[in-house]
Structure 1
Amino acid sequence: MAGAGWLLAMMKVGANNVLGVSLRQHVTPDPLLGRMNATFRFLLTGALALGAAASGLLTELTTLHTALWTGATVMALSWIPLSLSPIRHRVTGP
């Protein structure tokens, strides 16, 4: 069950990467592509570092079991902000 869940999560991540990069490249003017990519990578790695610190703190304050379930819940609900955003209904460029 865990292996199947991990496989589905990784398939989702792969598809999201392709769709996200394609959208950003489509809506960003050519001269700004380098800056946009650098900024996105900076924010992404910063979020990963903050998430790691938050999960460590949560584990310290509660239990590993609680931290794992919290992480699984956050991952399972991560689609909600995107489904509510205007990007979902975008059909043309800028």
Structure 2
Amino acid sequence: MDQKQRLELINIMHELYQTPTTIEEQWHRVTPLLTEFNATIGQGLEGMASMINKHFTNAEKFKDSKVQKFELESGLIKLNMYFKKLDTFEKS
């Protein structure tokens, strides 16, 4: 997953966090990015990537906006940490 795709995923998920009522209509933008994210998981970070994916897919499944916001926020926090760790591994 290149830097542009990483930023796009973070930005889309942040937009959805701000307005969870748009999840259904915007999910088509998320799906290819999550597919790419899953295809390019860094070695040793599989568990963390799995949790991120689970949070985001849970947000799409639930209809309660409080649950959606929780799942999106949890996923975003972990996603940001994941990309920082991945950058550290790639530089070493």
Q: Tell me the TM-score normalized by structure 2.
A: 0.40
Rg larger in 1 or in 2?
1
More relative contact order, 1 or 2 (CA 8 Å, 6+ apart): 2
Q: Tell me the TM-score normalized by structure 1.
A: 0.40
